């Protein structure tokens, strides 16, 4: 599709250089099924507020916007803090090599999204890829989207393999309206495969103009009793996010907007003391922004399994 094709459909043009306007892109009609047993995406389990402690290395260099820090037990990445965005876009690579996890299976989601999902009127539209690793060294990868708090959906006929480059573009354009597109390009391939537009519908009020984010997340999974827990984090060292941008009338790179710098840390309320809630060691940290819209992820360790109900608030 050309930019004119998107305009003819009444849709925003994608960022320049994205595979959505590449004439060699192969398009598929997406087939979506509910995801059972794990829940990629979802909100950060800590409120977005500036942190008083410093991450283990220097935070993102301030470009045009300002940076505040906050820790999260399940997120690392960047989120705009000024609001006003209805779309998000980013690209990343699924890891091409990984060690066998020593403590049991591990999980990770990479995604771009708009919103927070903290209240019914501030839902969140997300799209990304999953990267899980079993103790037999086998990876499990797939593409997904979620209109939080609805059930995440797997895009069953879009094959994501290790080492691939993957794009997500989400458009949360108003009440009962949303759209998702995801692309993947395997290593050595000469073109992308992209889904056609996935229309998403929700039935609660939504105020257009929220935060946008590009995030690596510890995927929530169900335990043997069907309760959600935050498992150990897959080894995602050196995952690179490129072209992390949000749309508020024009595409804005994350480095040019006010933003939160988010780092992943285990959360325990030791002796009910809130000062102990976000104690080291970190599991993953967000690298500095370069080229206005690119950054990496620094993986530190697998982390602890956490019951979300036990997290500090």
The pLDDT-based confidence of 52 (bands split at 50, 70, 90) is: very low
pLDDT tens readout for residues 160-176: 999 999 999 998 866 56
For strand 232-233 and strand 106-107, is the pairing parallel, antiparallel, or unpaired? parallel
**Reported pTM:** 0.90
User: Residue 183: enclosing H or E segment and its boundaries?
Assistant: strand 177-185
Distance CA 169, CA 180 (A): 6
For residue range 247-299, list pLDDT tens digits in order. Answer: 988 999 999 999 999 988 876 544 455 545 555 567 899 998 988 999 999 99
* CATH code of the region 24-310: 2.60.120.700
Q: Distance of CA 96 to CAs 82, 110, 215, 297, Å?
A: 35, 14, 19, 15
Cα dihedral 193, 241, 211, 64 sign: negative
**What is the overall mean pLDDT for the chain?**
84
Q: Would you give the distance in Å from CA 276 to the centre of its chain?
A: 27
CB contact at 8 A, 179 and 20 = no
Report the alpha-carbon distance of residue 64 to residue 153 in Å, rounded: 36
Q: Comparing 215 with 270, which gets the higher pLDDT? A: 215
Residue 242 has pLDDT above 70, yes or no: yes
**Rounded-to-integer distance, Cα 246 and Cα 285, Å:** 22
CA max distance for the chain: 60
How many other C-beta atoms can be found within 10 angstroms of the C-beta atom of residue 198?
Answer: 19
- pLDDT at site 190: 87
124 SS3 class: strand
Could you report the per-residue pLDDT of 81-90, keeping only the tens digit for each?
Answer: 887 898 999 9
Give the model's pLDDT for residue 24.
Answer: 93
Highest mean pLDDT among 115-129, 198-212, 271-285: 115-129
Q: Quick check: 219 pLDDT over 70?
A: yes
Q: Cβ(101)–Cβ(218) under 8 Å? A: no
Q: Exposed e or buried b for every residue in 109-130, given b needs 16+ CB within 10 A? A: bbbbbbbbbeeeebbbbbbbbb
How many CB atoms are located within 10 Å of the residue 34 CB? 9
- What confidence score (pLDDT) does residue 220 get? 94
Distance CA 253, CA 212 (A): 11
Q: Where are the domains of the chain?
A: 24-310
| Rounded CA separation 79/93 (Å) | 19
Q: How far apart are CA 69 and CA 55, in angstroms?
A: 8
């Amino acid at each position: 599709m050309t930019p004119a094709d998107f305009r003819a459909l009444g849709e925003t043009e994608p960022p320049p250089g994205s595979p959505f306007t590449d004439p060699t892109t192969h398009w598929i009609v997406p087939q979506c099924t509910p995801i059972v047993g794990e829940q990629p995406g979802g909100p950060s389990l800590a409120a977005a507020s500036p942190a008083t402690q410093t991450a283990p290395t220097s935070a993102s260099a301030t470009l045009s916007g300002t940076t505040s820090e906050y820790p999260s037990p399940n997120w690392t990445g960047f989120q705009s803090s000024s609001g006003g965005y209805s779309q998000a876009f980013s690209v990343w690579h699924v890891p091409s090599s990984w060690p066998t996890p020593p403590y049991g299976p591990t999980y990770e989601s990479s995604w771009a999204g708009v919103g927070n999902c903290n209240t019914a009127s501030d839902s969140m539209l997300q799209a990304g890829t999953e990267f899980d690793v079993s103790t037999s060294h086998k990876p499990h990868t797939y593409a997904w989207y979620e209109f939080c708090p609805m059930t995440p959906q797997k895009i069953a006929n879009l094959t994501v393999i290790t080492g691939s480059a993957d794009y997500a573009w989400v458009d949360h354009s108003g009440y009962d309206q949303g759209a998702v597109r995801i692309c993947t390009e395997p290593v050595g391939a000469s073109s992308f495969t992209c889904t056609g537009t996935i229309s998403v519908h929700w039935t609660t009020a939504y105020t257009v103009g929220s935060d946008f984010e590009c995030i690596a997340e510890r995927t929530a999974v169900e335990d043997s009793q069907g309760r959600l827990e935050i498992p150990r984090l897959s080894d995602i060292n050196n995952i690179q996010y490129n072209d992390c941008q949000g749309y508020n009338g024009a595409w804005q790179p994350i480095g040019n907007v006010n933003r939160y710098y988010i780092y992943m840390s285990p959360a325990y309320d030791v002796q009910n003391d809130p000062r102990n809630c976000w104690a080291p060691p970190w599991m993953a940290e967000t690298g500095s922004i370069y080229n206005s819209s690119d950054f990496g992820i620094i993986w530190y360790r697998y982390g602890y399994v956490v019951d979300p109900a036990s997290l500090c608030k």
